[in-house]
Amino acid sequence: MGKTALISGITGQDGSYLAELLLAKGYTVHGLLRRSSSFNTERIDHIYQGPQHPERTLVLHHADLSDGVALVNLLRETEPDEVYNLGAQSHVRVSFDTPLYTADTTGLGTLRLLEAIRASGVDTRIYQASSSEMFGSTPPPQNEDTPFHPRSPYGCAKVYGYWSTVNYREAYGMFAVNGILFNHESPRRGETFVTRKITRAVARIGAGLQDRLYLGNLDAVRDWGYAPEYVEAMWLMLQRDEPDDYVVATGVPATVRDFLQAAFAAGGLEWERYVRFDPKYERPSEVDALVGDPAKAERLLGWRPRTHWRELAELMVAADREALDAELSGATVRIDR
């Protein structure tokens, strides 16, 4: 019998790659799907199995991190060996506009899931999607011992989720781990995060569909890795004998301007001709520099990053150009990359 996993956030960037990884390993995967008035399963449509499928290994369930009772019921019904809590309002800028909502889903949502595991009595392991945003203004390099100083409602909510996870490990002996992941991107990255906003714009400007790109702070430093590699680290954390917390990062810094330049160059364009500043995209308090030290993950998980920011910019531009070409020619857009 293969293992069973439950993923919150399965329709997001990471959830879709993690679902693929676990299915390839022979897991039965249950995904938490939140109700939306429009389709929100685009990232997993290529692996979707309908209710009539004879041997379903991917099953979606309507639930929400704001509904604790639904979480208990779902855990009792699916009895997962592993739970991955990836669900969140994950946009930092938006968290300043919706701080209470962000605290509820991203912060309290984690506590609800931990408590639902306890209430259901299911014997399981849980991965919490913690974030480098928790380090906030503490200067790099950041590792597992670096103090937190969050700079947004999102960062504060993630700190709450982090400590709740540690608390359930210490108080109840739960196998609960935090993956402190630095920024990771892919062709499936949400269109309003800066990397994808840039690579989509490169494709659209190249096709003559757009002539301006408005951005905020270009001086911020980030440590950008490749999402499919980062979900491998999540899985490895839950295969250890003991629960622990790990930083997952490339250790390689780049500014938003560096990424911008590389992405436009990959599209054969000069970014200065098209990019304009709009203060709308600045944050009330910014995180200036995030650069992780992944030594512990390398040592204990045997995990290493393979793709760095420049290559990432190139592969994302290529994917956005391919998707746009397909869209313009009326063909189906491929998502299995």
Residue 171's CB is within 10 A of a number of other CB atoms, namely 10
Site for ligand NAP in 65-84 (CB under 6 A): 65-66
Cα dist. 66→8, 142, 273 in Å?
Answer: 12, 31, 45
Should residue 178 be labelled a site residue for ligand NAP when binding is judged by CB under 6 A?
no
Q: Based on CB atoms, which residue is closest to ligand G4F, 59 or 218?
A: 218
Pattern of binders to ligand NAP over 181-220, x per CB under 6 A? x-xx-----x------------------------------
Could you say which of 96, 101, 163, 193 contacts ligand G4F (CB under 6 A)? 193
Question: Is the CB of residue 10 less than 8 Å from the CB of residue 41?
Answer: no
Establish how many alpha carbons lie within 13 A of residue 26's alpha carbon, considering only the half-sphere containing its beta carbon: 3
Site for ligand NAP in 98-157 (CB under 6 A): 105, 109, 129, 131
Cα dist. 156→100, 113, 256 in Å?
Answer: 11, 18, 23
Q: Which contacts qualify for 19-24: CB closer than 8 Å, 24 or more apart?
A: 19/44, 19/47, 19/58, 20/47, 21/228, 21/231, 21/232, 21/235, 22/235, 23/47, 23/57, 23/58
Q: Confirm whether 131 is a catalytic residue.
A: yes
Pattern of binders to ligand NAP over 4-23, x per CB under 6 A? ----xx-xxxxx--------
Cα dist. 92→151, 185, 194 in Å?
Answer: 9, 15, 11
Which amino acid, 28?
T
Could you say which of 40, 46, 306, 311 contacts ligand NAP (CB under 6 A)? 40
Phi, psi of 128 (to 5 degrees): -105, 130
Pattern of binders to ligand G4F over 94-133, x per CB under 6 A? -------------------------------------xxx
Question: Which run of H or of E encompasses 318?
Answer: helix 309-328
Question: Which run of H or of E encompasses 124?
Answer: none
| Residue 126: CB minimum distance to ligand G4F, A | 18
Binding partner of residue 82 among ligand NAP, ligand G4F, none, CB under 5 to 8 Å per kind? none
Q: Based on CB atoms, which residue is closest to ligand G4F, 3 or 283?
A: 283
Active site residues: 131, 133, 154
> Which residues contribute to the site for ligand G4F (CB under 6 A)?
90, 92-93, 131-133, 182-183, 192-194, 197, 215-217, 220, 222, 256, 281, 283, 286, 290
> Which residues contribute to the site for ligand NAP (CB under 6 A)?
8-9, 11-15, 32, 34, 36, 40, 64-66, 86-90, 105, 109, 129, 131, 181, 183-184, 190
